[in-house]
Amino acid sequence: MTAHTARTAEAQTMGTTDALPWIEDAGKVAPKDARALSRLFFDRLQVLEEGTVEHQYARNTLIEMNLSLVRFAAGRFRNRGSGDMEDIIQVGTIGLIKAIDRFDLSREVEFTSFAIPYIVGEIKRFFRDTSWAVHVPRRLQELRVELAKSKESLSGDLDREPTVQELAEDLGIDEGEVTEGIVAANGYTAGSLDMPTDTAESWKLSAGGRTFADVLGEPDPAMETVENLHALAPLLCELDGRERRIIDMRFGQEMTQAQIGEHLGISQMHVSRLLSRLLRKLRTGMLTED
């Protein structure tokens, strides 16, 4: 047998009188041998009780022997999108496992023919659900594909880019839906903030050219101060003259509590209590403002 070592496990070890061959390294079984061995393992898998060691061995061996089908199917998606090949193979393996669990020898269909659609379908589902840089509804994901086909067809006929109206007429949908689909399509891929603002001048990056990150806006901390002052102004107007005077001396003139007490003829402790009450009143008012 090519590229693998096989031995017959004793009946006592396998827990059955009709033991399966023991595959030392199922991943190294040649595809031709895997096809023949798979029929034997599927035949035994159908009569083994699920959850037993024997059933687990047969199922796991089938998975490992047929991983070449996953690698074959995954190769078709090698250059598609930004999917990592390891992730694609893992997703394809899920399809292989589903095929193994649902395969029936009585159908008289080769397992390879039965499994490939499951594997490819799982990989396509992976790309459909995860390839978008920004998640958009499934309806818009499908509309993007239809728009791309329509745009390509109309561009060939018109010898120019089709308008939104022409796309809508070709697909039999509203112009609003076309616009929504075009906007959503922008979420399919994400650009790097390190890209130059002018792609025609990408050569300038090495010389310190401007990137999108350089012109990206950021929150202005002063905005929160402005908002707080606007919220505070009407609350200050509700204070009486003495209270406003204390606030002005403490925060406007930056006088100490002792200086304020001396100016008003009261103790520093009294000033401290007055300030605490005023600040609590103002904070409560700002929190309840709409």
CATH at residue 29: 1.20.120.1810
Strand partners, 196: 211
Q: What is the pLDDT of residue 33?
A: 81
pLDDT of residue 131: 55
Pinpoint the alpha helices (H) of the chain: 11-14, 31-45, 53-65, 67-74, 85-102, 111-130, 138-158, 164-171, 175-185, 212-215, 221-237, 241-247, 257-264, 268-287
Inside any domain, residue 1: no
- In this structure, are 10 and 124 located in the same domain? yes
Residues 183, 111 share a domain? no
pLDDT > 90: percent of the chain: 9
Domain span at residue 76? Answer: 6-130
* Residue 21, φ and ψ in degrees, nearest 5: -65, 140
pLDDT of residue 19: 72
Mean pLDDT, range 277-283, rounded to an integer = 87
Would 103 be classed as within a structural domain? yes
Residue 93 binned pLDDT confidence (cut-offs 50, 70, 90): very high
* Same structural domain, 262 and 149: no
One domain for residues 283 and 196: no
| Overall domain count for the chain | 4
Residues 21, 38, single domain; the answer is yes
Question: How many whole angstroms separate alpha carbon 39 and alpha carbon 118?
Answer: 18
Is the model's pLDDT at 290 over the cut of 50?
Answer: no
pLDDT in tens, 11-42: 334 443 357 788 878 877 787 788 888 888 98
Whether residue 123 is found in the same domain as residue 11: yes
Please check whether residue 105 lies inside any domain of the structure.
yes
Average pLDDT, the chain: 77
- Look at residue 6 and give its three-state secondary structure: strand
Co-location of 107 and 20 in the same domain: yes
Q: Identify the H or E element spanning 8.
A: strand 6-8
How far is residue 273 from each of residues 195, 256, 267, measured CA to CA in Å? Answer: 58, 14, 10
The helix/strand/coil state of 22 is strand
Helix (H) or strand (E) holding 49: none
HSE-up of residue 220 (Cα within 13 Å, Cβ side):
6
Provide the pLDDT for residue 134: 53
- pTM (predicted TM-score): 0.42
Which of these, 71, 107, 106, 105, lies nearest to 89 by C-alpha position? 71
